[in-house]
Structure 1
Amino acid sequence: MSDSLTFCGLKEKQRAIRVEFPETMGLRVHRAISWIGRAEACGDDHDARFIFLWISFNAVYADEREFQSVAYGERAAFVDYFGKLVARDNGQRIYKALWQRFSGPVRTLMENRFVFNPFWQHNNGIDGFEDWEERFRTSSRSFAHAFQSGDSAKVLSFVFDRLYVLRNQLVHGGATWNSGVNRAQVRDGAAILGFLMPVFIDIMMDNPVENWGQPFYPVID
């Protein structure tokens, strides 16, 4: 990753141009960069790094209700956010990361049933998910089609669906810190987020007048 996409590089850029930022967008970026800095301090603690990077993602995207209230696979606002980023990614940094740098980890993540929500719904005894294996195959085919057609926004949506399950496992106490079980998905998830989050923030700073939405918890005097 270039120095411009480290905490120090992002913070330096933000300070130089933040006067141009709308208040809401400026708050999102300020918060997100702060969590990038915290994640960088984690070193090889992949669990902690993943969690702090997910907080950074929430800071830029920030509507948890989208995940909780909208049916799996129908997160329109989620797709909309990724669509905005990809459309304004003039250097195709997201595309290059997905298809070159992280194509292996992304494919491995998509082939892992342990980060597929219907698998856990079925194993937790929730009715209606007996067909999780067929759903998994359907999801894999849809992902492969998006990947082969170069649809970065859809690929991001699939990837973040899986990362969200991983996030839940960690945040809701469904995993042991530094466990040897499923270590690869935590390490790969942290690596994917660690590269993409600074790129997301940088794209937003380059496009401050875009409507990036209202922060979920604004600053109130």
Structure 2
Amino acid sequence: MNYTELKARHRSERENYASNALSLRLHRALSWLNKAEQVEDDDSKFIFLWIAFNSAYAQESGQKHYDTERERYIAFIERLVSLDSEKKLYNLVWSQYSSNIRSILNNQFILADYWRFQSGDIKENAWIEAKNKAMKAAHTALAHNDTTTVLSIILSRLYVLRNQIMHGGATYGSGANRQQLADCSALMFDIVPLFIELMMAGQHQVWGDAAYPLIEH
């Protein structure tokens, strides 16, 4: 589903949501998805899609403690997978595994251990082993219908790219990171709308307050 379809559903259902916080989180996520659909370059598209993703899963930090941001979004994915009775996430991952997902997993420039090697923290064989181990884990998880593990491995790569861009570690429009940006943007463009759709499917559940709740003046 695209922004127009999801926003129409949001408008028709939001009065029945268990809380206004869910409606706010979806409203924010949809606004960034809308912007992502309007831009052409992969740099901007990836940034806007990540903000849409963040708007969906982020909640008031005081409500539940996670040691890392990764733990936060993995818990979010686990919940979405539990709501995914039609296995749309699994089917999406399976359909893309032989194309851009495999490319993402093979790309050392969005592997955290590769940059640890470049910094001198680990040996070369360590990051190569980490890449191979992740590939094997993703393939095994996929074979066992473990969508949460597959997505957590993929999102850990996307999170490295997110950090590179957001923390100024990449140049806008650079030819050095075109492949990973193209692959990651394409995948996010499929996954983020599905995340939003599954949140709508769980509209009667308690999702927690949005981070930075709306303050009425």
TM over 0.5: yes
Q: Distance in 2 between matches of 1:193 and 1:86?
A: 16
Q: Quick one: percent identity of the two aligned structures? A: 36
- Is this contact kept in 2: 1:42–1:48, CA < 8 A? yes
Residues 97 and 103, structure 1, Cα contact 8 Å, conserved in 2: no
The range that moved more, 206-215 or 8-17, is 206-215
| Aligned: 1:85 with 2:83 | no
Take 2:176 and 2:59, find their aligned partners in 1: how far apart are those partners? 30
1:70-109 alignment, distance < 5 Å: 70=68, 75-109=70-104
Unaligned runs of 5+ in 1: none
| Letter in structure 2 aligned against 1:39 | A
The answer to whether the Cα contact below 8 Å between 1:102 and 1:192 also exists between their aligned partners in 2 is no
- 2:53 paired residue number: 57
Partner of 2:152: 157
2:42 and 2:195 map into 1 onto residues whose CA distance is 20
The DSSP-based 3-state class of the residue aligned with 1:210 is coil
* Alignment of structure 1 residues 19-168 onto 2, 5 Å: 19-21=15-17, 22-43=19-40, 45-62=41-58, 69-70=67-68, 75-125=70-120, 127=121, 129-130=122-123, 131-168=126-163
Question: By how many angstroms is 1:78 displaced?
Answer: 2.8
Segments ≥4 residues shifted beyond 4 Å: 63-66
Q: 2:207 corresponds to which residue?
A: 212
Count matched residues. Answer: 210
1:12 to 4, 8, 13: 8
Equivalent pair of 2:60/2:212 in contact (CA under 8 Å): no
CA RMSD after TM alignment: 2.2
Counterpart of 2:12 in 1: which secondary structure? helix
Counterpart Cα distance in 2 of 1:136 and 1:101 = 19
Q: 2:60 and 2:180 mapped to 1: Cα distance?
A: 22
Contact 2:60–2:210, Cα closer than 8 Å, also in 1:
no
Letter in 2 for 1:20: N
- Deviation, 1:89, is 1.5
- Structural mapping, 1:177-216, within 5 Å: 177-216=172-211
- What CA deviation, in whole Å up to 9, does each residue of 1:35-78 have, x standing for no partner? 010001102x1110000000000001116989x9439xxx4443
Deviation at 1:220, TM superposition (A): 2.4
Change (3 A) 1:101 1:132: closer
* 1:214 to partner: Cα distance: 2.6
**CA separation in 2, counterparts of 1:42 and 1:101?**
23
Structure 2: runs of 5 or more not aligned: none
